[in-house]
Amino acid sequence: MTSIQHRIGGVPVGGSIAAPVHDPATGRRRGEVVLGREAEVDLAVGAAARAFESWREVSLTRRTRVMFALRDLLERHEDELARLVTAEHGKVLDDARGEVVRGREVVEFACGIPQALKGEYSDQVSSGVDAFSFRQPLGVCAGIVPFNFPVMVPLWMHPIAIACGNAFVLKPSERVPSASNLIAELYAEAGLPDGVFNVLHGDGETADALIRHPDVAAVSFVGSTPVARRVHGTASAEGKRVQALGGAKNHAVVLPDADLDVAADQITAAAYGSAGQRCMAISVAVAVGDAADPLIDRLAGRARAIRVGPGTDPATGMGPLISAAARDRVAGHVLAAEEAGAKIVVDGRDLPGPGFFVGPCLLDGVTTGMPAYEEEIFGPVLIVLRAGTLGEAIALVNANPYGNGTAIFTSSGEAARRFQRAVHVGMIGVNVPVPVPMAFYSFGGWKASLFGDTHVHGPEGVRFYTRAKAVTSRWPEPSRPSEAPGMAFPTAR
Ligand code: NAD
């Protein structure tokens, strides 16, 4: 059985407390991971703080070269990383490869960091006076990440932070710890000095100690909304910079003028891919007008055709859930909706064990007051709601407390434009069900899906991991005596 250790200052570090790590496809324990407590948190932040002092002085060119080398190593180790993700998370291998590729794209953005960090310069803002601005790193940045993207979500954070000159302490999810240790090895092989990137394993207690550590300057968090809200509060109260991304309830609005076969294909993939364990999963389809019945027929046929099984089997379309508790929670939501009067069109409960499997579920007749609609289920459950008009559908999307992603399926440019302007949601797809922005844009939701001011990666990531200085300078000519300053507030001459 594997024992997964921290990686601090370039070396493995053990611990006395550990948690089990499971293979969700078999339900069996595949190893254990150490859980950091105050001593290990201190060790990791101390290693990062020491490494920061020299890393901040390393030239942009050399920092960029590390990113280019990491990018190539991530490509070479794509399969190994994907297999680790599938082994601990359960998602199918192709899906795991997809997250490695999307994460690598952030490293590709970080390869261009000299361009993103360029400051501004104004010549002669007053006689003999120039003004310019530039950005500097913050220090030790912490990343606390969820189980559902063991490679991609951490890669949203640390390449940008490190390319900007910071040191980083990553606290992976205790349920999927292994991929982060491989990433640490790849950073070392890419030439990153020890201590600039550290992996501190642990649970909520570890994360809390990390957030509160006085030498941590900034916190990036991705996870469920209740924890995101708390992390944002704790870090803000300690005067730290924080971005805390939370959960989601993403609606796909389908207008009667949409190609319903295409819409059903796309929504099926977005609802049941990764067993619905994506923050950008579509969990609610809003059928407008006449679209409802033909859409439900198509969705039901496609949901029943999905092959559920281990993620390592190439014939599998959908893998297991992360844990037995997640399986039971999802089944509980479907039962509660059924008891409250919803119609279970496709029922994925009662799949044989021993893994943590629930098959695709499709629910009709759910109302907005039911917990199945109000709560994030984070499983393979798609709910269909009906709306009379596009206006009603937009009102439904906007009344929901979450605002991560949404999509519209239509053949009308006018309707799509109206939708994209009116919804209170951070990421919008037009005939695209999972509108995850490319690495050179920034990722983030609105309302209860993000606490803080900046989205992750792309230009907003660069702003989050740096702070600005503005310099006003005068170099008087020695031959010309400079004018004595007046007592009035200085204005340009
Ligand atoms: P989670 O909130 O249970 O855990 C996330 C991380 O927080 C883990 O590393 C965990 O160890 C840590 N943690 C747990 N309790 C904590 C506490 N009290 N204080 C500080 N840290 C704590 O989430 P999860 O189950 O791992 O992931 C699924 C959730 O993440 C879903 O809600 C999903 O929507 C969300 N998610 C959001 C995004 C996004 O971009 N908005 C992306 C991926 C996942």
Percent of the chain at pLDDT above 90? 95
Phi, psi of 129 (to 5 degrees): -120, 130
Query: Which pLDDT value is given to residue 287?
Result: 98
- Cα–Cα distances in Å, from 176 out to 166, 179, 275, 487? 25, 7, 16, 63
pLDDT, tens only, 253-298: 999 999 999 999 999 999 999 999 999 999 999 999 999 999 999 9
Cα 474 to chain centroid, rounded:
45
177 lines ligand 1 (CB under 6 A): no
Distance 204 CA to ligand 1 centre (A): 9
Pick one of 3.30.70.360, 3.40.309.10, 1.10.260.40, 3.40.50.720 as the CATH number of 250-430. 3.40.309.10
Which atom in ligand 1 lies closest to the alpha carbon of residue 173?
9
Task: Please give the pLDDT value at position 326.
Answer: 97
pLDDT of residue 310: 97
Q: How many degrees, rounded to 5, is the angle at CA 129 between CA 124 and CA 133?
A: 85
484, exposed or middle or buried, with CB in 10 Å at 0-12, 13-18, 19+? exposed
- Quickly list DSSP for 359-406: --EEEES--TTSHHHHS---SSEEEEEEESSHHHHHHHHHHSSEESEE
Who contacts 384 (Cβ-Cβ below 8 Å, separation ≥6)?
284, 285, 286, 287, 292, 295, 296, 299, 345, 362, 363, 364, 366
User: Has residue 2 got a pLDDT over 70?
Assistant: yes
Q: What DSSP line would sit under 289-321, residue for residue?
A: GGGHHHHHHHHHHHHHHPPB--TTSTT-SB---
pLDDT at 440: 97
Query: What's the rounded Cα separation, in Å, for the pair 418 and 393?
Result: 12
pLDDT digits (tens, 9 = 90+) for 153-186: 999 999 999 999 999 999 999 999 999 999 999 9
Q: How far apart are the first and last CA of the chain?
A: 74
Q: What average pLDDT does the structure give for the chain?
A: 97
CA dist 197 → 188, 280, 464, 465 (Å)? 9, 28, 18, 15
Torsion angles phi and psi, residue 170, rounded to 5: -100, 130
Specify the ligand 1 atom closest to the Cα of 171.
Answer: 9
pLDDT, tens digit, 9 for 90 and up, residues 180-225:
999 999 999 999 999 999 999 999 999 999 999 999 999 999 999 9
pLDDT band at 481 (very low <50, low <70, confident <90, very high): low
Measured from the CB, is residue 47 less than 6 Å from ligand 1? no
Mind listing the pLDDT tens digit for each residue in 295-345?
Answer: 999 999 999 999 999 999 999 999 999 999 999 999 999 999 999 999 999
Query: Catalytic positions, please?
Result: 279
C-alpha to C-alpha distance for 128 and 263, rounded to whole angstroms: 63
- Mutation pick for ligand 1 pocket among 147, 169, 225, 230 (CB with most ligand atoms within 8 Å): 147
User: Ligand 1 pocket, 204 CB below 6 A?
Assistant: yes
Number of H helices, E strands in the chain: 16, 23
What average pLDDT does this structure show over 395-421?
A: 98
**In this predicted structure, what is the pLDDT of residue 208?**
98
pLDDT at 482: 66
Place of tokens 């310069």: 121
Looking at residue 167, its amino acid is A
Domain boundaries, the chain: 2-246+449-471, 250-430
Structure tokens at 70: 């990491």
Mean pLDDT of 372-391: 97
For domain 2-246+449-471, give the CATH number. Answer: 3.40.605.10
pLDDT digits (tens, 9 = 90+) for 13-52: 999 999 999 999 999 999 999 999 999 999 999 999 999 9
pLDDT at residue 359, as a whole number: 98
Closest CA to 247 of 267, 225, 227, 215: 225
How many residues are given for the chain? 493
The predicted-structure confidence for 69-127, as pLDDT tens digits, reads as follows 999 999 999 999 999 999 999 999 999 999 999 999 999 999 999 999 999 999 999 99
Q: How much is the pLDDT for 195?
A: 98
Residue 1 pLDDT exceeds 80: no
| Cβ of 279 below 6 Å from ligand 1 | yes
Asked if residue 445 has its Cβ within 6 Å of ligand 1, the reply is: yes
Give every CB contact of residue 343 below 8 A, 6+ residues apart in sequence: 363, 364, 365
pLDDT in tens, 425-479: 999 999 999 999 999 999 999 999 999 999 999 999 999 999 999 999 999 887 7
pLDDT digits (tens, 9 = 90+) for 115-149: 999 999 999 999 999 999 999 999 999 999 999 99
Q: Which atom of ligand 1 is nearest to the CA of 172?
A: 9
Q: Whole-angstrom Cα distance, residue 208 to residue 142? A: 11
